[in-house]
């Protein structure tokens, strides 16, 4: 893995934007052992429930879309009590291909809508909106898609 200086600067800026915008529960981390980057933290919904969010920074970032997973709770269950990860790529739940570890992948931006102008703070913001919609889904049984508009492109 070889990161350009522009990528490293961008990730440092992303970290600072998160903290400047009040998203201090999320940080960008550097893994010195293999020179990789990830961003993660704990999201707390308006109901007070806590979710661990994990954003994998790909080697092509920011042109390449980062994946965002819910690593805890695991499994994340739907209204019917089934693991959401078993649904795979779902419009009803706004999820993409789950991680091999069984983590649910949130659809923040589809790859065909992602671009380098979108910052991680917006990604985590969308994840928090997804979690609020998820809890509405748990309360009502209605599809999560009914509570969130299809993810818009504007960064």
Partner 1 sequence: MSNGDQRSMIRDAMQAIAQRKPGKSKLVYDKTKRTIVAVSEGVSAPQALNITADDADMFGVVTLSSAWLRDKWPNLTTLGSLPVDFSSWDDGDALTQLALCVQGSGTRASAMLVFGEQQAQPGYGLVISIVPTDKPTHRPDVFVSPDNIAYRAQVTEVVGPATGRREVVFADIEPQLDLRRAGILETTVLKDRTVLCVGLGTGGAHVAVELAKSGVGHFLLVDRDRLSVGNVVRHPGGISQVGRAKVNVTRDLILEKNPNALVDVHATDVSFDNRDMIAGLVQAADLVICGTDNRQSKLLINELCVSANKTAVYGGAFRRAYGGQILRVRPKHSPCQQCFVSALPEEASDVEVSSQSDADAIAYSDRPVAVEPGLSLDVLPIATQLAKLALLELLADKSSTLNVLKQDFDAPWYLWLNRPERGTQYADMPPLSSSRDEMTINRWYGIYFERDEQCPVCGDFLAGFAAAYGIDPSKLPALPEKE
Q: Please, are residues 69 and 88 in contact by the beta-carbon 8 Å criterion?
A: no
Q: Choose the stretch contacting partner 1; rule: CB under 8 A; options: 6-14, 46-54, 78-86, 124-132.
A: 6-14
Query: Which residues, 44 to 83, sit near partner 1 by CB under 8 A?
Result: 58-60, 62-65
Q: Give the bridge partners for 52, in sequence order.
A: 42, 72
Q: Which pair of structure tokens corresponds to residue 19?
A: 């903290």
Does position 91 bind partner 1 by CB under 8 A? yes
Q: Please, are residues 151 and 96 in contact by the beta-carbon 8 Å criterion?
A: no
Question: In the bound complex, what is the minimum distance in angstroms from residue 81's beta carbon to partner 1?
Answer: 19
Q: Which pair of structure tokens corresponds to residue 76?
A: 């994340």
Give me the sign of the Cα torsion angle 106, 108, 114, 115: negative
Does position 115 bind partner 1 by CB under 8 A? yes
Which of 22, 100, 111, 149 is close enough to bind partner 1 by CB under 8 A?
111
Question: Given the rule CB under 8 A, which residues bind partner 1?
Answer: 6, 9-13, 15-17, 20-21, 27-33, 37, 58-60, 62-65, 87-92, 110-117, 119, 153-155
């Amino acid at each position: 893995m070889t990161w350009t200086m522009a990528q490293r600067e961008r990730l440092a800026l992303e970290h600072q934007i998160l903290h400047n915008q009040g998203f201090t529960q999320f940080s960008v981390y550097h893994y010195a052992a293999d020179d990789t980057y990830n961003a993660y933290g704990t999201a707390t919904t308006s109901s007070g429930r806590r979710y661990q969010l994990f954003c994998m920074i790909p080697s092509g970032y920011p042109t390449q879309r980062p994946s965002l997973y819910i690593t805890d709770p695991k499994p994340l269950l739907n209204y019917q009590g089934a693991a959401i990860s078993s649904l795979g790529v779902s419009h009803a739940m706004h999820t993409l291909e789950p991680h091999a570890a069984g983590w649910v992948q949130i659809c923040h931006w589809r790859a065909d809508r992602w671009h380098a102008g979108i910052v991680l703070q917006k990604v985590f913001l969308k994840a928090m909106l997804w979690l609020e919609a998820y809890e509405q889904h748990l309360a009502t049984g209605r599809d999560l898609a009914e509570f969130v508009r299809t993810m818009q492109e504007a960064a």
